[in-house]
Amino acid sequence: MKLTFITISLLITTFITSSIAAKGKFQADDYKKALWMTTRFYGAQRSGKGPNWLIMEHQNPEYRTSFTKDADGGTDLEGGWFDCGDHVTFGHTFFYSAYVLSKAYETFPTGFHDLYNGKTYEDYMKSGNWDISGGKPDGIPDLLEELKYATDWIIKATPNATTFYYEKGEGNLDHKTWVTAGKMSSQSVDQGGEPRKMWKNPNDGHMASFAAATLAIMSRIYKKFDNSYSQTCLEHAKNAYDYAKPKKNAAVGAASGGFYGSPKSPVQAFIVAASEMYKATGKSEYRSDIIDNMNQITDHYYAFDYSNFHDLAPYTVATSIDSLKTPMLEKMKSLFISKYTGSVNEEKVCTKGNSGWGALRYPANHAFVTALYSSAMKTEENDQFIYDQVDYIMGANNAKQSFIVGFCSGCSKSPQLPHHRNVFLRDDNPNDGAKASMTIPDRNKQFGYLVGGSWTSSSYKESVIDYAMTEGGIDYNAGLVGALAYIVSKLSPADTTYNDNPSSVKTINKTGSGLSIKSFGKMVTISSPALIKQCTIYALNGTSVFSLKNTVSEIKWNTTGIKHGLYLISLQLNNGTSICSNLLVR
């Protein structure tokens, strides 16, 4: 029997598709949705002006922002992310989480799609649909917009080489009442309200090291979107690095109570920072710092998390200095990867880490760090392990229990009572009995929050007051986002070329002052010093091709499907000014 070329191709394609599908228990769209949801979670952790999408439509307009007065004298410290289900910013998890996310994007860029406007969430507000289908692309991958909110604050936290801010608020005061962040901001200081205490200049090197490493990566991955911002990131990365270097072996716990202890070996984070700075600058001084300290790379004899980040040191050295790639990856495998892949229970969940508090952050973290290793080695030998950890979390387990708030595909249940204040929009400080009957408002249901959970699916207990089981955090989600990105990059890769050409639109002329028009591929951003009240874009035949009536600071126009030619932009500003501009789409 003769097989035609087409038949052979179909057979090969079918075999490859089946081979990929056999590793995971979900469809490609399920992984993509889970990644969308767990990424957007970070917008729900925004402190400050935000917007924080959980509370931005609060029935009380005064509670739609939070802690906008965070400052140290004349130093503005508004912004950043809340830690978990509370409203404090702890540097121990904040800088680590930002680094993990930036590393995930740099390593698996095609895993991250552009599905919504991560700067303002105006698309969801306009559609009234907070599901994945309610968003609209805005020209920048979603994770980068969520991450930029964090790096904006890191820049504030690193004003020079001798000043480093690392914590905002006081945990014990914050935990006194169960209210939204907006409401808490208005309370008295002894109830967690403003002005809050700002903490700076710790005798600690690991937090500033992760700050430097994050900004160094951001200087690389955000350059094509905003070169000026990229340079600012690198300048502040140097500030953070110079702060960390003399303290590379020192570490402290949380300032406002015993919420986080000091890490075992802070120098591991400094090695990461040196590696990222070397990649960003090519300067020999950073290479020397890598060489001088890499003999301290060692095993944590535990599990990968915000306090035991040793796994990242050999990986970043391996991907920074070619001559060290093989020995460093071999060390990474022997110290960490082999131990994780060889320690699974009957539900195929990795059992390294803390089984009693935030248990599922560990399988997520181990899937992520194994994905980093696999990418560097260009191997798929550990892919089944990666899929198994993620699938269990998504609900492919004995109890058919999803551990992501709002995600349930083929499962029987997902968390309904997460330990998180903002998601419920309750400002009446309910007692524990009342908390048990709380329900998440429809707009907030697809929260994307990985709860602590359990390594045995049937052991999960639905209790909002059991924070060890039902609370999550920015560090919990970070590893999961990275692992999901690895999977999505294989099954449903994003097109990252659409924003590589920033010259597809040309401004011909404009009347009015202060108008700014920028383009990244097919996305045009229009902004002005005053708020824009109305924007209409016309073709030369007078037909309106785009119209928006909403007071905003900037307009996003996706020119996908728009014919090449000349267009007229007409703007009405909130101050009564009119601006017109001709735009050539080519």
Nearest to 97 by CA among 305, 311, 372: 305
The predicted pLDDT at position 417 comes to: 98
Nearest to 549 by CA among 528, 526, 573: 573
- DSSP-assigned beta bridge partners for residue 401: 413
Q: Could you give the C-alpha distances from 277 to 94, 239, 282, in angstroms and in order? A: 19, 11, 8
Nearest to 330 by CA among 271, 386, 379: 379
The predicted pLDDT at position 505 comes to: 52
The predicted pLDDT at position 16 comes to: 38
- DSSP-assigned beta bridge partners for residue 572: 534, 578
Nearest to 86 by CA among 165, 191, 157, 156: 191
Q: Which of 144-153, 155-164, 253-262 has the lowest mean pLDDT?
A: 253-262
Span 85-106, mean pLDDT? 98
The predicted pLDDT at position 499 comes to: 53
H or E element that contains 341: helix 338-341
Give yes or no for residue 11 having a pLDDT over 90. Answer: no
**Gyration radius of the chain's alpha carbons:** 24
H or E element that contains 28: helix 28-40
H or E element that contains 568: strand 565-573
Residue of 30, 70, 83, 86 marked active site: 86
The predicted pLDDT at position 3 comes to: 34
The predicted pLDDT at position 105 comes to: 98
* pLDDT tens-place string over residues 337-394: 999 999 999 999 999 999 999 999 999 999 999 999 999 999 999 999 999 999 999 9
CB 309 within 8 Å of CB 267: no
- Look at strands 516-520 and 198-200 and give their pairing: unpaired
Q: At what angle do helices 91-107 and 206-221 cross, to 10 degrees?
A: 30
* 42: number of Cβ within 10 Å: 25
Report d(CA 164, CA 509) in Å as an integer.
45
pTM value is: 0.85
Given the structure tokens 């300048």, which residue do they identify?
235
Give yes or no for residue 10 having a pLDDT over 50. Answer: no
The predicted pLDDT at position 7 comes to: 34
Q: Could you give the C-alpha distances from 521 to 123, 124, 140, 518, in angstroms and in order? A: 20, 23, 10, 10
**Burial classification of residue 321, based on how many CB atoms lie within 10 Å of its CB (0-12 exposed, 13-18 middle, 19 or more buried):** middle
Give yes or no for residue 318 having a pLDDT over 50. Answer: yes
Report d(CA 292, CA 249) in Å as an integer.
13
| Distance from the Cα of residue 147 to its chain's centroid | 5
At residue 559 the predicted structure's pLDDT band, cuts being 50, 70 and 90, is confident
- Domains of the chain (ranges; CATH) run 13-491 (1.50.10.10), 505-585 (2.60.40.3080)
* pLDDT tens-place string over residues 521-532: 677 888 887 888
Q: Which of 63-77, 327-341, 366-380, 565-579 has the lowest mean pLDDT?
A: 565-579
The predicted pLDDT at position 425 comes to: 98
Give yes or no for residue 74 having a pLDDT over 50. Answer: yes
Nearest to 147 by CA among 489, 498, 522, 481: 481
Report d(CA 586, CA 385) in Å as an integer.
47
Query: Letter for the amino acid at 245?
Result: K
**Burial classification of residue 69, based on how many CB atoms lie within 10 Å of its CB (0-12 exposed, 13-18 middle, 19 or more buried):** middle
Q: Pick 583 or 287 by higher pLDDT.
A: 287
Query: Letter for the amino acid at 210?
Result: F
Give yes or no for residue 14 having a pLDDT over 70. Answer: no
Nearest to 55 by CA among 73, 69, 67: 67
At residue 13 the predicted structure's pLDDT band, cuts being 50, 70 and 90, is very low
Give yes or no for residue 273 having a pLDDT over 90. Answer: yes
At residue 6 the predicted structure's pLDDT band, cuts being 50, 70 and 90, is very low
CB 120 within 8 Å of CB 136: no
> Has 419 been annotated as catalytic?
yes
3-state secondary structure of 538: strand
Span 426-433, mean pLDDT? 97
Angle at 101 between CA 100 and CA 105, to 5 degrees: 120
Tell me what percent of the chain is helix, strand and coil, each rounded to the nearest 5.
Answer: 45, 15, 40
> Has 311 been annotated as catalytic?
no
Q: Report DSSP state, residue 197.
A: P
Nearest to 352 by CA among 372, 336, 375: 336
Report d(CA 548, CA 552) in Å as an integer.
10
- DSSP-assigned beta bridge partners for residue 76: 71
In whole numbers, what is the pLDDT of the chain averaged over residues?
A: 92
Query: Letter for the amino acid at 540?
Result: L
Residue of 206, 419, 420, 427 marked active site: 419
Report d(CA 304, CA 368) in Å as an integer.
10
